[in-house]
Amino acid sequence: MTDASTGRSGFTPAYLDRVGSSFTDFLGSSAPDLLPGRRALPAVPVGELAPHATTIVAATFAGGVLMGGDRRATMGNLISSRDIEKVYAADSWSVIGIAGAAGIAIEMVRLYQVELEHYEKIEGMTMSLDGKANRLAAMIRGNLGAAMQGLAVVPLFAGYDLDAAEGTSPGRIFSYDVTGGNYEERGYASVGSGSLFAKNSLKKTWRPGLDADAATRTVVESLYDAADDDSATGGPDPVRRLYPIVYRVDAEGAVRLTDDQVAAVADAVIAERSASQSREG
């Protein structure tokens, strides 16, 4: 690489000419092959050959929002992983849960985390929650070609709205489709293969104004109900000490609950269900 092509600083013009705040746009112009949606795809569907992540749930509470996900990934009729992580902190005030092709989904999450951090460094301020939701929609839209080949990524996004009007709930939830469609949910939402069962559970146990502890119970119980009817969703595993991953986002930021905290809630759910079965027996 010559001095004329790199300039005195040693950087190529692509690094020096960019003035936008989108890291994804920068990557698309300087190294488009690194974007998940820009890679060459096989001519036949390959969805059954890749591990898929399932069942993410989110629920608001008085003061914020919670998101949880089970730990199982499947590949066709096989369990490819029992301890995959599906829920991540996107930044200090938001979280993202993945459902779909696990490898592409995790790569998309990492790119999205850099996208939000890049914006904050360039602009000197945190992106609005609506802006974050729209940026994620654009990234999902860029993966449409892979989605048509069976490698779809359909995340769930939630966060604490720093600009929420007084008297409104600061916890907000956004769901998506494979085309990048962005839909704000009210109260609770679920995605993935077990979402039908999880949402039915949330419908019965969630109500406006729940405190954080009650909402945590609601999230964990909905994942338990999903695992009870969906083979691709993993339930609590006391033997391996594997429990759902749960994040809480409130005025203090995004915090992952400890395994012991989630285990206590899951064990309480299991104990109550066992006692109920014993009484029926």
SS (H, E, C) 98-140: CCEEHHHHHHHHHHHHHHHHHHHHHHCCCCCHHHHHHHHHHHH
CA distance 226 to 275: 20
Collapsing DSSP to helix, strand or coil, 42 comes out as coil
- pLDDT surpassing 80 at residue 28: no
How does pLDDT run across 240-262, given as a tens digit for each residue? 999 999 999 999 999 999 999 99
* Nearest alpha carbon to residue 237 among 216, 266, 201: 266
Strand partners, 230: none
Distance CA(14)–CA(20), nearest Å, equals 12
Classify 67 as helix, strand or coil.
Answer: strand
- Taking all residues of the chain, what is their mean pLDDT, rounded to a whole number? 85
Digit-coded pLDDT (tens) for 137-176: 998 988 887 777 777 889 999 999 999 988 888 999 999 9
pLDDT (mean) for 15-32: 64
User: 169 — alpha (psi -120 to 50), left (phi > 0) or beta?
Assistant: beta
Query: Which residue, among 139, 197, 169, has the nearest Cα to 60 in the 3D structure?
Result: 169
Q: Would you call 31 exposed, middle or buried from its count of C-beta atoms within 10 A (0-12, 13-18, 19+)?
A: exposed
Helix (H, G, I), strand (E, B) or coil at 33: helix
Buried b (16+ CB within 10 A) or exposed e, 133-171: bebbbebbbbbeebbebbbbbbbbbbbbbeeeeeeebbb
- pLDDT at residue 244, rounded to an integer: 96
Contacts of 166 (CB under 8 A, 6+ apart): none
Assess whether 60 carries a catalytic annotation. no
Top-confidence residue, 92 or 20: 92
Name the catalytic one among 24, 54, 168, 205: 54
pLDDT at residue 36 tops 50: yes
- Residues facing 69 on adjacent strands: 56, 245
pTM: 0.82
Greatest Cα-to-Cα distance within the chain, rounded to the nearest angstrom = 82
Average pLDDT over residues 124-139: 93
CA gap 150, 141 in Å, rounded:
15
Which residue shows structure tokens 């936008």? 20
**pLDDT tens string 53-67:** 689 999 999 999 999
Mean pLDDT is highest, among 11-15, 45-49, 211-215, for 211-215
The residue assigned the tokens 């609590």 is 236
